[in-house]
């Protein structure tokens, strides 16, 4: 039986481990976070896309072993590295990628295959990851074992596009490596997309998210101008989206968040600056606009309250949604939390409704409450920041005159929209 090691059991690695077990592989799910491993060993999930029942089935099959013991990595046929690559002071932090390579190196064996999935800048796999793999082994990439890069495309909470039906970019160090990577992922996903070089695959991932980041910035800035002009941005977007070619609809909001958009374009920016000594101007502009959106939302809150002779200081504000996107409990880099911090700094009394978010991710100055008539009645303003489908929107619409909706979810002419 083919033995798979997945290093990193988070939003990317865990769904991959689930899929690998489903198709019949023996899977070791390695993570240095012992608390996370303990949860997995007890069939307790911590991400939206994997259920407790799925984990229980995996464990019962005997083909899934979550562990924090690096010695269990030995004897793998395929190892996939899906660890975080955060930014530290604007510089890519590859410490987790490096640590994974160091752990894997001593366990390399002839004929095995290693794939990096972590988002990173072009050159990481060949210039950083492979040398560290080989520092712990006499084997050489391309000659003795295969190496590839396949960027993750996980969209947490998206029921339509999953790991299985989202096309998977794959690349290899050489032709034999590419064949091995293609052969592995063809068993997991419906479609693989081979790319000629590893660097091209690494850059493709950054381009995908930079494209989205820039276009969100475009509509965010347009939303601010439309408010000043007295034009409904949402109506404008719907009208433009009727064009069947040459236009892709993006929508404004309180900012960008999650594990990709606030980070990936800055990886590209960092490399462009390092390689050619200048900035990628679109990224600079997009960062400036999207980073400013929480401040703009707070300004709109103040305007709304001022019209009713109230100040932000001392006002009770009910935040609807704290996660970075709808139908997900993921609060990483969430703009909703940035809005909350700015409102708290101005003296607002904050409560929040979010049925999906882990309470441990909520800052202490925000009190989480259920969505009830009482809590809506007590609020001076209801601020919609994340539009989860599970929320009772009809209840909110009854109080729409006191709503500022940044997501265009409240269907009432009385509600104020971004």
Which residues form the catalytic set? 260
Closest CA to 188 of 267, 278, 115, 90: 115
Q: In what order do the strands lie in the sheet containing 146-149?
A: 64-67, 26-30, 3-7, 78-81, 113-116, 146-149, 168-172, 192-194
- Taking the C-alpha atoms of residue 100 and residue 6, their distance in angstroms, rounded to an integer, is 10
Closest CA to 28 of 3, 61, 46: 3
Find out whether 139 and 145 touch, Cβ atoms under 8 Å: yes
18: alpha, beta or left? (left if phi > 0; alpha if psi -120 to 50):
alpha
Token output for 77:
């046929």
- Taking the C-alpha atoms of residue 100 and residue 5, their distance in angstroms, rounded to an integer, is 11
Token output for 255:
């900012």
Classified as helix, coil or strand, 67 is strand
Find out whether 399 and 377 touch, Cβ atoms under 8 Å: yes
- Taking the C-alpha atoms of residue 412 and residue 377, their distance in angstroms, rounded to an integer, is 17
Closest CA to 63 of 96, 15, 95, 24: 24
């Amino acid at each position: 039986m083919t033995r798979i090691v997945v290093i990193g059991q988070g939003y990317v690695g865990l769904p991959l481990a689930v899929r690998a077990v489903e198709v019949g592989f023996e899977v070791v799910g390695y993570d240095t976070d012992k608390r996370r491993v303990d949860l997995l060993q007890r069939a307790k999930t911590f991400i939206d896309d994997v259920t407790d029942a799925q984990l229980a089935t995996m464990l019962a099959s005997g083909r899934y072993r979550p562990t924090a013991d690096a010695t269990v990595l030995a004897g793998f046929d395929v190892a996939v590295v899906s660890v975080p690559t955060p930014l530290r002071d604007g510089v890519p932090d590859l410490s987790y990628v490096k640590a994974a390579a160091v752990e894997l190196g001593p366990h390399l064996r002839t004929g095995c295959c290693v794939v990096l999935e972590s988002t990173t800048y072009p050159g990481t796999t060949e210039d950083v990851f492979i040398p560290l793999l080989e520092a712990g082994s006499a084997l050489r990439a391309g000659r003795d074992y295969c190496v590839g890069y396949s960027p993750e495309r996980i969209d947490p909470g998206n029921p339509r596009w999953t790991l299985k039906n989202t096309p998977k970019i794959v690349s290899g160090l050489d032709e034999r490596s590419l064949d091995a990577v293609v052969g592995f992922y063809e068993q997991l996903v419906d479609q693989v997309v081979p790319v000629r070089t590893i660097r091209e695959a690494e850059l493709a991932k950054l381009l995908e998210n930079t494209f989205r980041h820039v276009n969100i910035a475009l509509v965010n800035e347009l939303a601010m101008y439309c408010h000043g002009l007295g034009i409904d941005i949402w109506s404008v977007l719907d009208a433009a989206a009727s064009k069947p070619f040459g236009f892709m609809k993006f929508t404004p909001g309180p900012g960008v968040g999650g594990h990709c958009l606030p980070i990936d374009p800055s990886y590209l920016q960092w490399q462009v600056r390092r390689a050619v000594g200048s900035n990628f101007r679109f990224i600079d502009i997009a960062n400036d606009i999207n980073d400013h959106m929480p401040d703009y939302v707070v300004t709109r809150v103040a305007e709304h309250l001022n019209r009713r002779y109230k100040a932000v200081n001392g006002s009770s504000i009910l935040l609807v949604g704290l996660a970075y996107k709808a139908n997900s409990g993921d609060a990483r880099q969430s703009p909703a939390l940035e809005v909350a911090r700015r409102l708290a700094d101005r003296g607002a009394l904050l409560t929040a409704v979010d049925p999906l978010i882990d309470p441990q991710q909520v800052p202490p100055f925000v009190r989480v409450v259920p969505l009830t008539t009482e809590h809506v009645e007590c609020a001076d303003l209801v601020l919609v920041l994340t539009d989860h489908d599970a929320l009772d929107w009809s209840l909110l619409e009854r109080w729409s005159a006191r709503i500022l909706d940044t997501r265009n979810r409240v269907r009432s002419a009385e509600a104020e929209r971004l």
